[in-house]
Structure 1
Amino acid sequence: MNIGNEVIETLDELESFLTSVEDGGLGLTNVAGVAMATSNADGRPFVAVLDDKHQLLLGRWVSQDVYENGKDLVRTGPKRKKH
């Protein structure tokens, strides 16, 4: 899996990650969606960036709290700050 060692510990960090994905700041192409998931190997939760074939492009480990409380944020997307 393409998951680094970093762990997203807070909902603010999750929102920043999602914003980076949306803005193209991570250099990913063919992004079709984002989902919360768990590793089949050890059950650790992570946020997954998926392509149009539902293949993992990039993932970040998340804390259990972020996994449990960040699902709506992943589903609806980050809130944009109004200027």
Structure 2
Amino acid sequence: MINDNDVIETLAELETFLRAIENGGLGLANAAGVALATNNTDGRPFLAVLDDNQKLLLGRWVSADVYENGKDMVRYGTKKLH
């Protein structure tokens, strides 16, 4: 589910990824939410895209900076441009 080469390194990359999910640009069926989490094995942080049954649809590794500073963006969504 998670590609080791696909790491979200910056908040700008996080925003772009979240907008793609919000707009259906990734073609994920039943995407109901996103969450920041850590891997149980090694503690590595990642962004999880979850379906309405809270099953993982897609995961992307995130940098420590994105994990710490992107929580509000994940929690409240991206700011829409007018």
- 1:60 is aligned to 60
Aligned-pair CA distance for 1:18: 0.2
Aligned-pair CA distance for 1:80: 1.4
Identity of aligned residues (%): 69
Find runs of 4+ consecutive structure 1 residues off by over 2 angstroms.
Answer: none
TM-score, length basis structure 2: 0.95
Aligned-pair CA distance for 1:41: 1.6
- 1:80 is aligned to 80
- 1:27 is aligned to 27
C-alpha distance in structure 2 between counterparts of 1:46 and 1:23, whole Å: 21
Consecutive unaligned residues in structure 2, runs of 5 or more: none
- 1:3 is aligned to 2
C-alpha distance in structure 2 between counterparts of 1:81 and 1:32, whole Å: 22
Q: In the comparison of the two structures, how many residue pairs are matched? A: 81
CA RMSD of aligned residues (A): 0.7
C-alpha distance in structure 2 between counterparts of 1:71 and 1:11, whole Å: 10
**Which AA in structure 2 matches 1:65?**
D
Consecutive unaligned residues in structure 1, runs of 5 or more: none
